[in-house]
Amino acid sequence: MLREIGRDIWVAEQSLRYFGLNIGTRMTVVRLESRELLVISPVQVSDSIFNQLGELGLVKHMIAPNLYHYLFAASFKKIYPNATFWAVPGLEIKKPDLLIDQIIKDSENGPWSGIEYVFLDGFRTLGLNGFDSLNECVFFHAASRTLILTDAAFHFDESFPILTQLVTKVIGGYKSLSPSLLEWVATTEKNKLRKSIKQILGWDFERVIMAHGSIIEQNGKEKFKRGYEKFLGEALDIAA
């Protein structure tokens, strides 16, 4: 079921297990200035989600925001065949069977009015095959002052199962908006990442949505800044 969390922005949350942990997953829906709908990181579409999306507007765009969040993209595209399927660079190589319509380019002339975005250049994750590039695209919805992340940071709390709490207390992401220790190990090009983070800190956001964890409604910018200062090992200035 979709849940409204701000002006022209909704989320849908579903269960998801990863390495035996229940970490959940989240889809974000944004109504653009054109009144069309943009869907970030699609989940399985239930009857209730289908009906709610139909009431909100026309699903015009769907996005696979990094090289890992594409599991439900093909089924979503079948339900909404007229929606443009956008993907981050590299997914067309990793999953050549996906019917991708457009590869997301640089954000100088973004294709979605009302949404800004940057790539987390240099950010890597410790995946099943070792150190993998994530190619994550991070979004900013100005109308609701919301930063939309996927796997760039996590924020778990008491609402998650006890095992998930215990593990994230050890590897990071428990009651802290930050990457985990696994990303800490994997990410070696932190100079590139620093530039991307500073661009993000130039946005005026209060709320932070991530794919895994609890949404942060207040002081999201400061919490994101603190998490990445620890990750990068240096202080970061927030742009005006």
Enumerate domains of the chain plus CATH numbers.
2-95+116-232 (3.60.15.10)
**pLDDT tens across 110-144, in order?**
789 999 999 999 999 887 777 888 999 999 999 99
Which of 178, 94, 81, 184 minimizes the C-alpha distance to 131? Answer: 184
**pLDDT tens across 179-235, in order?**
998 899 899 999 999 999 999 999 999 999 999 999 999 999 999 999 999 999 999
Strands 207-209, 146-148: pairing kind: parallel
- Between 74 and 170, the higher pLDDT residue: 74
Q: Which residues pair with 11 in a beta bridge?
A: 3, 28
Cα–Cα dist 14/135, whole Å: 23
Mean pLDDT of 58-78: 96
116, amino acid identity? E
Confidence of residue 240 (pLDDT cuts 50, 70, 90): very low
The tokens for 233 are: 């090992």
| pLDDT for res 239 | 53
For residue 157, pLDDT over 80 is answered with yes
C-beta pairs of 52-60 under 8 Å, 24+ apart in sequence: 52/1, 52/2, 52/10, 53/2, 53/29, 56/2, 56/10, 56/29, 56/31, 57/31, 59/83, 60/32, 60/34, 60/36, 60/84
DSSP 8-class letter at 215: P
| pLDDT for res 107 | 66
| pLDDT for res 170 | 86
Strands 9-14, 25-31: pairing kind: antiparallel
For residue 50, pLDDT over 80 is answered with yes
Q: How far is CA 21 from CA 128, 167, 168, 171, 205, in A?
A: 15, 9, 10, 13, 30
**pLDDT tens across 3-45, in order?**
999 999 999 998 877 767 777 899 999 999 999 999 999 999 9
- Between 164 and 236, the higher pLDDT residue: 236
Return all residues near 96 (Cβ < 8 A) that are at least 6 apart.
Answer: none
Q: Is 148 helix (H, G, I), strand (E, B) or coil?
A: strand
Q: How far is CA 124 from CA 1, 143, 193, 216, in A?
A: 32, 30, 10, 23
- Between 175 and 240, the higher pLDDT residue: 175
